[in-house]
Amino acid sequence: MSDSCYDRLCALDREVAPLGQAMAVMGWDQEVNLPPKGLAARASALAALAGESHRRLSAPEVGEWLAGAEAEGANDEVAAANLRLWREGYDRRTKLPQSFVEEKSKVSSEAKMAWAGARKASDFALFAPLLEKQVELARRQSDYLGYDDHPYDALINLYERGMTTAKLRSLFGSFRAELAEIAAEAVERTKANPSREFTGSFPVEAQQQFNREVAESIGFDFEAGRIDTTTHPFCSGNAPGDTRLTTRYYDHDFSASCFGVLHEAGHGLYDQGLPAEHYPHPAYESVSLGIHESQSRMWENHVGRGLAFWQRWTQRAGELFPQLAGWTPEEMVAAVNRANFSFIRVDADEATYDLHIALRFEIEQALVSGELEVKDVPAAWNSAFKQSFGLEVPDDSKGCLQDIHWAMGGIGYFPTYTLGNLASAQLMEAAMQDESVASGYHAGDTLPLLAWMRERVHRHGSILTPDEIIQKATGKELSPDAFLGHLRTRFLG
């Protein structure tokens, strides 16, 4: 009997997976390809598919199958993970009414389009009505899901299991002061020791060539993925064998798209390393946004901004971009590790990045609790930014309109970036204890590092929890120690 319940849940996954794949491909397509007049039909189709998927996964008989499968128990750790995650998803889903899920999907499609227009025009008023809706939906979502302490808890939990507002406040509290000191000192040193500057034009085609070679060299499989161009870079794991990165190009600085690709390829390597044999069941899935971000940050920062990387790639960069001919790897490392208090999170250096996250974390909490109104977001943002970064935000496209997350309905998402930075440093520190990883790394070959991550992170999908992955891979719980140590070495060494 329970075998049969488990099998029914597996069959349900197979029935619903095509809807999930359709939503992933259509969501990617909406960012990359969709003509504007196609938005209305697309938004309504995505809302309907989300609703249909939700309806099937939250049907009463699913609850009965789950209870039956749980009564029988799991035969192995994969089945145990599936059971645990089916339960988590079912409980979460049955708390959200069908109409709510459809509304959120529709509002998110519309809000993304409004956001893109508002950002282009740097006009917050064009986005505000949709952000109002998203905040209101976030509050309703918290109410449906329930929380003990702060309505924001329920939202964080959607992205990082077991995380709370209080824990995050404590974590940020434990290192924000030290981070601010390191950042200020790093900015000082950058000012005192100016690096060489990138000059001239970096043609997009040459940037694409460079990025592709770099992505291939770190192991991204282009037979199972691709790179496209969007306003806001992302990585979409549509299905096994179909992992898509996007980036954006600046004519004056090739490194922005290069680090963008390293970042998204880090996400992509994780997706390409997930245990395809468990698709389309929950054990296949990536385990949390924090762990996902640990991988993107690793290839972007720990690999891409290191000396060994530029010992391998400086000459090639000089071939593709003649203005870089004659640069030394050390000059390149200095140029891509300048610390500055600047406006745009995704362009921020490692030393100041998490101060951007801390700011968003404060604003999100205040929006959700009602302490801050949407109309006051630009003023609140600009004031907090002045305080943390000492800079006046010149317009909202460089301020509160820079990120797509709120438009997507992802309130509660930002803190996972900082969790990822901490995990990234801790995993890297542990991996470098392995002789082959360390010697490869120093020779500009990160395939042993990838193999280490495949073995200890990627292949586990969601079979282990985020905590278990960190604990088993590094021998200790997540802490800011490795991250702060890394920043000190890199910026104050």
Which residues of this protein are in contact with a copy of itself, per CB under 8 A? 14-15, 17-19, 21-22, 25-26, 29, 33-42, 44-46, 48-49, 52, 221-226, 238-242, 279
Task: Transcribe 377-399 into DSSP letters.
Answer: HHHHHHHHHHHHH-----SGGGT
Alpha-carbon gap, residue 300 to 255, rounded angstroms: 11
DSSP assignment, residue 284? G
**116 vs 359 by CB, closer to a copy of itself:** 116
The nearest distance, CB 103 to a copy of itself, in angstroms, is 16
Q: Tell me the chain's radius of gyration from C-alpha atoms.
A: 22
429 is catalytic: no
Alpha carbon 123 to chain centroid, angstroms = 26
Alpha-carbon gap, residue 120 to 116, rounded angstroms: 6
Tokens found for residue 263: 């970042």
The nearest distance, CB 91 to a copy of itself, in angstroms, is 26
**282 vs 306 by CB, closer to a copy of itself:** 282
Which of 408, 428, 411 minimizes the C-alpha distance to 483? 428
**222 vs 328 by CB, closer to a copy of itself:** 222
The answer to whether the annotation marks 150 as part of a ligand binding site is no
Q: Which of 102, 110, 264, 364 is catalytic?
A: 264
The nearest distance, CB 118 to a copy of itself, in angstroms, is 19
**Strands of 22-98, DSSP E:** none
DSSP assignment, residue 324? G
**21 vs 471 by CB, closer to a copy of itself:** 21
User: Is residue 436 exposed (0-12), middle (13-18) or buried (19+ Cβ within 10 Å)?
Assistant: middle
Sheet holding 242-247, edge to edge: 225-229, 242-247, 235-239
Tokens found for residue 35: 């003509």
Alpha-carbon gap, residue 474 to 193, rounded angstroms: 35
Cα-based distances in Å from 219 to 137, 169, 388, 448, 457: 40, 37, 38, 10, 16
The answer to whether the annotation marks 263 as part of a ligand binding site is yes
DSSP assignment, residue 193? S
Let me know: does 130 contact 108? Beta carbons within 8 Å: no
Which of 233, 248, 245 minimizes the C-alpha distance to 271? 245
**225 vs 233 by CB, closer to a copy of itself:** 225
Residues in the chain: 493
Please report, as a single letter, which amino acid is at residue 211: N
**99 vs 387 by CB, closer to a copy of itself:** 99
**17 vs 366 by CB, closer to a copy of itself:** 17
The nearest distance, CB 119 to a copy of itself, in angstroms, is 19
Helix, strand or coil for residue 238? strand
The nearest distance, CB 31 to a copy of itself, in angstroms, is 13
At what angle are helices 350-369 and 481-492 packed, to 10 degrees? 140
Catalytic residues, by residue number, are 264
Binding residues for Zn(2+): 263, 267, 293
Binding residues: 263, 267, 293
